[in-house]
Amino acid sequence: MPRIILVSWQEMGMTNEELVKKIEELLNTDADLDFLMALKEKDLEKLVACIRGRVDQVAEKGHHMTRE
């Protein structure tokens, strides 16, 4: 199983607000994700890394992400 780097150097030290904005960008959504502000910074960093990993994985396979 590939090892996942949890956060890039750019994301270290980001505020919770900045991390939530990063998640919105990665998901390409206008949805209100402010409820994520209740999470600890470490948990938000992990969530960003997991989303980025999945988006990268899908992109590498040449698939397009769609809503169902």
Q: 8: pLDDT confidence band, cut at 50, 70 and 90?
A: low
- Evaluate whether 20 touches 37 at the Cβ level (below 8 Å): yes
Over residues 2-24, mean pLDDT: 72
Tell me which DSSP letter residue 61 carries. Answer: T
pTM for the predicted model, two decimal places = 0.68
Alpha helices in 1-68 (DSSP H): 16-27, 41-60
Over residues 45-49, mean pLDDT: 90
Over residues 9-38, mean pLDDT: 87
Work out the number of other CB atoms within 10 angstroms of the CB of residue 15. 11
